[in-house]
Amino acid sequence: MAEKWVLMVTAQTPTNIAVIKYWGKRDENLILPINDSISVTLDPQHLCTTTSVAVSPAFTHDRMWLNGKEISLSGGRYQNCLRELRARASDVEDEEKGIKIAKKDWEKLHVHIASYNNFPTAAGLASSAAGFACLVFSLAKLMNVKEDHSKLSAIARQGSGSACRSLYGGFVKWIMGKEENGSDSIAVQLADEKHWGDLVIIIAVVSSRQKETSSTSGMRETVETSMLIEHRAKEVVPRRIIQMEEAIKDHDFPSFSRLACSDSNQFHAVCLDTSPPIFYMNDTSHRIISCIEKWNRFEGTPQVAYTFDAGPNAVLIAHNRNAAKLLLQRLLFYFPPQSDTDLSSYVIGDKSILEDAGVHNMKDIEALAAPPEVKDNTPAQKYKGDVSYFICTRPGKGPVLLNDETKALLNAETGLPN
Ligand code: DP6
């Protein structure tokens, strides 16, 4: 084996938003949940992780860089993923580069991993889901792991539970499984991203000063102290999973919306039922819920669904482009940007929704009329600066390999970050 070569793979993996939530584990080490969950994969064009992984006989230990900064791989979750992948690695041959790696060599060879999120990690947008999914997907390609996506999802799950759902595009179910070793706790695709292509997703990144409880410790405390969580996991979620699968299959937006909103609200209710109580949503989150609830009721049928993860950000799923346009007008009416903010950085992602909304500059925002569901005699209050920015996106595809070498995050000769 020549000593100088570096073999590298780069991949891109989406993030996902649960519409029936995962909250609570029955096994902390294997990351086995107490209920099934369902998610929508978000378009990687707007929210994704890119990861390059490389192997070389010159590497002395496994190393990882996240957004350019070296981080430790000593944590149990990274170690579990690396061990599971190495155990399934196969022979690799690159004739062009004259590289040959035998199955047994993988136990001794070290890897370098560089990962980058195309969205602010600090914004609380489920970066661990896309991150672990991408790490597992790219290493599996590098190591020639011949397992299908479902088997890979069971490995990604051991990095972060929600990561298993990022191995597929569209609509995804994480089946909790029954086996003690977790072999049947896997993700499956319910429908691809084209199945319900009309949906538009707007994320309100809500300004927050508060340091949040991590999902991992939050759900542990809930399982230890909440009386409601058992009822949720045993009685409520199993029924909702069946109904949600049906709603997705039939493009039944009213049912989809009612289920997603109720499940988000129940997840936050079990957080409140935890001792000490966990507050993930803040006043801005509550105002967004009120705005959607009022509008949906005014229309007589749901236009938009809302869902919130372990933080104050709102993920709003609009029935179609027209509902998305009306939603963005409402959001910009209630939550205008600070006067020194640039509109192009206030609404990011798919900017065509902004065009549909007829908003081209700050003056257009000031000119937005109060929504008709607001009673004429009560002047609507505005909350300038309470939202940091909005991301317009849609359901998206699953992981992909990036063959364009200019997208690589590691240097092809040294295997160090570019
Ligand atoms: C509220 O997957 O981040 O987003 O498995 O401990 O890493 P760990 O937790 P994580 O929890 C996600 C919780 C959630 C709901 C969901 O995505 O289903």
* Phi, psi dihedrals of residue 18, rounded to the nearest 5°: -75, 135
Nearest CA, atom 5, ligand 1: 161
Q: What is the pLDDT of residue 377?
A: 66
Report CA(235)–ligand 1 centroid distance (Å). 20
Instruction: Give mean pLDDT, residues 363-369.
Output: 95
Report CA(111)–ligand 1 centroid distance (Å). 27
Report CA(77)–ligand 1 centroid distance (Å). 14
Please report the atom of ligand 1 found closest to the CA of residue 214.
3
Q: Which residues contact 337 (CB under 8 A, 6 or more apart)?
A: 343, 346, 362, 365, 384, 385
Please report the atom of ligand 1 found closest to the CA of residue 174.
18
Q: Which residues contact 122 (CB under 8 A, 6 or more apart)?
A: none
Nearest CA, atom 11, ligand 1: 215
Q: What is the pLDDT of residue 4?
A: 84
Report CA(129)–ligand 1 centroid distance (Å). 8
pLDDT tens readout for residues 102-142: 999 999 999 999 999 988 766 667 678 999 999 999 999 99
Please report the atom of ligand 1 found closest to the CA of residue 267.
1
Please report the atom of ligand 1 found closest to the CA of residue 17.
17
Please report the atom of ligand 1 found closest to the CA of residue 39.
18
Percent of the chain residues past pLDDT 90, beyond the cut: 92
pLDDT tens readout for residues 241-297: 999 999 999 999 999 999 999 999 999 999 999 999 999 999 999 999 999 999 999
pLDDT tens readout for residues 379-391: 789 999 999 999 9
Question: Rg (Cα) of the chain, in Å, rounded?
Answer: 22
Nearest CA, atom 1, ligand 1: 309
pTM of the full predicted structure?
0.97
Provide residues with CB under 6 Å of ligand 1: 18, 21-23, 31, 37, 126, 128, 160-162, 215-216, 309-310
Q: Which residues contact 330 (CB under 8 A, 6 or more apart)?
A: 291, 295, 371
| DSSP string over 29-43 | TTTEESS-EEEEEBP
Looking only at Cα atoms, what is the longest distance across the chain?
80
- Nearest-angstrom CA–CA distance, 90 and 283: 52
Please report the atom of ligand 1 found closest to the CA of residue 33.
5
| DSSP string over 214-244 | PHHHHHHHHHHH-SHHHHIIIIIHHHHHHHH
Instruction: Give mean pLDDT, residues 182-210.
Output: 94
Q: What is the pLDDT of residue 366?
A: 95
Pocket test for ligand 1, best of 25, 28, 162 (most atoms within 8 A of CB): 162
pLDDT tens readout for residues 334-358: 999 998 899 999 999 999 999 999 9
Pocket test for ligand 1, best of 15, 19, 22 (most atoms within 8 A of CB): 22
pLDDT beyond 70 at 237:
yes
Report CA(67)–ligand 1 centroid distance (Å). 21
Which residue bears the tokens 């599996």? 140
Strands (E), 67-168: 69-71, 92-94, 99-101, 110-117
Report CA(161)–ligand 1 centroid distance (Å). 6
Report which of 320, 319, 273, 268 is spatially closest to residue 289, judged by C-alpha positions.
268
Q: Which residues contact 84 (CB under 8 A, 6 or more apart)?
A: 155, 158
Judging by DSSP bridges, how do beta strands 69-71 and 304-307 pair with one another? unpaired
Report CA(358)–ligand 1 centroid distance (Å). 37
Q: What is the pLDDT of residue 1?
A: 47
Report which of 328, 30, 360 is spatially closest to residue 164, judged by C-alpha positions.
30
Which residue bears the tokens 């991992």? 216
Quote the mean pLDDT of the chain: 95
Q: Which residues contact 274 (CB under 8 A, 6 or more apart)?
A: 218, 221, 222, 225, 226
Please report the atom of ligand 1 found closest to the CA of residue 310.
1
Q: What is the pLDDT of residue 144?
A: 98
Q: Which helix (H) or strand (E) holds 12?
A: strand 7-14
Q: Is the Cα torsion angle 270, 272, 276, 282 positive or negative in sign?
A: positive
Q: What are the distances in angstroms from CA 347 to CA 103, 198, 268, 324, 360?
A: 48, 20, 27, 13, 11
Q: What is the pLDDT of residue 2?
A: 46
Report CA(108)–ligand 1 centroid distance (Å). 33
